Structure 1
């Protein structure tokens, strides 16, 4: 499933935060977004959060330390889908909302896969990963998506 927004890649960050706001995460206002192996992206998320009403925390985390963190959401920007899948599967909690900016096919790995198509920021939803995550997403987000096939 996919949905398109007329906006540049920079809006991957806005899109991620918006989707998070429509997600039922177990910790409520103490939600932490972990950004894997990309301190620059973590900084952009922190700036966007300060400019918005979102109360999320952001941590820049090396992939090797990911399983030792307490994240409710994770953002991958350079990992392959197989690496994403391995990190998600090794995480102690199954309730992990995952986003990727490097997983166009979205068949394995993250729940939400962000990419550019014809100048638009777009995302696909991996329903298999979503169902295994035990995360509830507001149906309005899923209704925005259409079948990619």
Structure 2
């Protein structure tokens, strides 16, 4: 009996984690759809940096509502190709030093950054996800947006204030 309860709980946890990952994908693709780069890429290159908790569904790749493909890949923390090979960066858990290094590398380049981890959203990232058991929301760092070189449609600001996506 105990084994059945543990397996059922594990299945439930796995199913809930998959739902959270799908909700995160929906939010991330939504954010990307409101962004415009100085030179629009034919395919959007999203790079995952650092250990992530909710990005598994993103790794499957996707297509934006405009038909533009989103190619997703993982890069090692400190990888020099972030600036040249990424249009957007999804940032997982990084040490303060690694986070600072990443932001110093991408500053001045038209890169959209989204933080997954418990980022206070005060320095660096344009968007910071807030993932809980019941919803996925995000915050916008207006200072980072202004300095990024990526234009963000004003409607995304309203989205950040609305209800969150339910997993």
TM-score with structure 2 setting the length: 0.69
Structure 1 stretches of 5 or more lacking a match? 1-6
2:139 paired with 1:121: no
Deviation at residue 9 of structure 1 after TM alignment: 5.2
Residue of structure 2 in register with 1:88 after alignment: 103
Greater radius of gyration (CA):
2
Structure 2 stretches of 5 or more lacking a match? 1-18, 162-167
| Residue correspondences, number | 140
CA contact (8 A) 1:35 1:74 kept: yes
2:38 paired with 1:33: no
TM-score with structure 1 setting the length: 0.76
Change (3 A) 1:85 1:131: farther
Distance 2:87 2:64 in 1: 21
2:115 paired with 1:100: yes
Deviation at residue 65 of structure 1 after TM alignment: 1.1
Superposed, which structure 2 residues align to 1:1-149 within 5 Å?
Answer: 8=20, 10-25=22-37, 26-38=39-51, 43-47=56-60, 49=62, 53-67=67-81, 69-80=84-95, 83-91=98-106, 94-117=109-132, 119-146=134-161
CA contact (8 A) 1:9 1:116 kept: no
Give CA-to-partner distance per residue, 1:3-52, whole Å, 9 cap, x none.
Answer: xxxx7354122211111011102233222000113488665213251697
Q: Which secondary structure does the structure 2 equivalent of 1:84 belong to?
A: helix
